[in-house]
């Protein structure tokens, strides 16, 4: 029987395996990164918590946690806060930045997958000789 994940573990996005991520995990990541990178002390969601939970849930379902995490990390790496927009919200990130960043993330993941598949098919000289 699998171990139940508690709320504190669910928000530990750095250590929680992607298969256990949910909206709380993604929100925790975005809140933590805002605090670390932009010194935001109070996170204010775009159009409310319900809106953000909805867009996060759809993104998790459509792309998976690993691809969404990579997209969020890239978005935070390139975002430059301004006086008018001092934080990067999950809603803005998913609605406006994800459509540009996610295709790159997915293409790179597919390239890695193909490369691993090709490498696993490569036979060394001993294997070729043994098959003769």
Q: Please tell me the predicted confidence (pLDDT) of residue 117.
A: 79
What burial letters (b/e) apply to 62-98, b meaning 16+ CB within 10 Å?
ebebebbbbbbebbbeebeeeeeeebbbbbbbbbebb
d(CA 118, CA 4): 38
- Taking the alpha carbons of 104, 39, 25, 51 in that order, is the dihedral positive or negative? negative
The encoded tokens of residue 54 equal: 């909805």
Contact 91, 51 (CB under 8 A): yes
Contact 93, 72 (CB under 8 A): yes
Q: pLDDT truncated to tens, each residue of the chain (132 aa)?
A: 567 889 999 899 999 999 999 999 999 999 999 999 999 999 999 999 999 999 999 999 999 999 999 999 999 999 999 999 999 999 999 999 999 999 999 999 999 988 887 777 665 666 667 666
Q: Please tell me the predicted confidence (pLDDT) of residue 1.
A: 52
d(CA 37, CA 79): 10
Q: Please tell me the predicted confidence (pLDDT) of residue 107.
A: 95
Give whole-number Cα distances, 126 to 86, 113, 131, in Å: 60, 25, 9
Contact 67, 109 (CB under 8 A): yes
């Amino acid at each position: 029987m699998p171990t139940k994940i508690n709320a504190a573990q669910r928000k530990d996005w750095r250590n929680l395996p992607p298969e256990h991520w949910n909206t709380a995990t993604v929100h925790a990541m975005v809140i933590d990164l805002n605090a670390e990178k932009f010194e935001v002390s109070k996170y204010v969601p775009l159009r409310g918590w319900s809106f953000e939970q909805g867009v996060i849930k759809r993104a998790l379902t459509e792309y998976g946690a690993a691809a969404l995490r990579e997209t969020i990390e890239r978005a935070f790496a390139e975002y430059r806060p301004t006086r008018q927009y001092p934080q990067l919200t999950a809603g803005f990130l998913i609605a406006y930045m994800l459509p540009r960043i996610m295709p790159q993330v997915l293409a790179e993941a597919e390239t890695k997958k193909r490369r691993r598949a090709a490498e696993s098919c490569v036979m060394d000289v001993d294997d070729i000789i043994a098959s003769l």
